[in-house]
Structure 1
Amino acid sequence: PYSAYELENAMHLDELPSVRYTWVRIAAKQMGVGGDDSWGAPVHEEYRIHADQPMKLEFIITPFEA
């Protein structure tokens, strides 16, 4: 329920604001997290997003009705 800005600027959980909304982040793809360690190892080839390959994303958002 927090924006990227709120998460990046909070040092502790109690510094996050009260939840008043929901964030939805729509992305065509997301690259994997690092390699085999936390010291800067590159992402494994099968999880990389290559800029020279075309990408297309389409979506429709409709209101939820109970």
Structure 2
Amino acid sequence: MAAIDQKLKGVKEGIKRMELQFQSFVADNKQRLDKLETEHNQLTSTFHSIMDAPYKPPKIKT
């Protein structure tokens, strides 16, 4: 019976370690996603600024 209890304890500890690793993984991915969203918004804003600017044809010297 003691051997089974010891194995269960090991399994529980392993599960706890996996949960902590998963939480860390989720936090890292959240930071990456936030950074990507920020960069996307900046690029979209820049793109729209360029596209919305009035077109000025180049002056040709004669």
TM-score (norm 2): 0.18
Q: Which has the higher contact order (CA 8 A, sep 6+)?
A: 1
Structure 1 or 2: more helix by fraction: 2
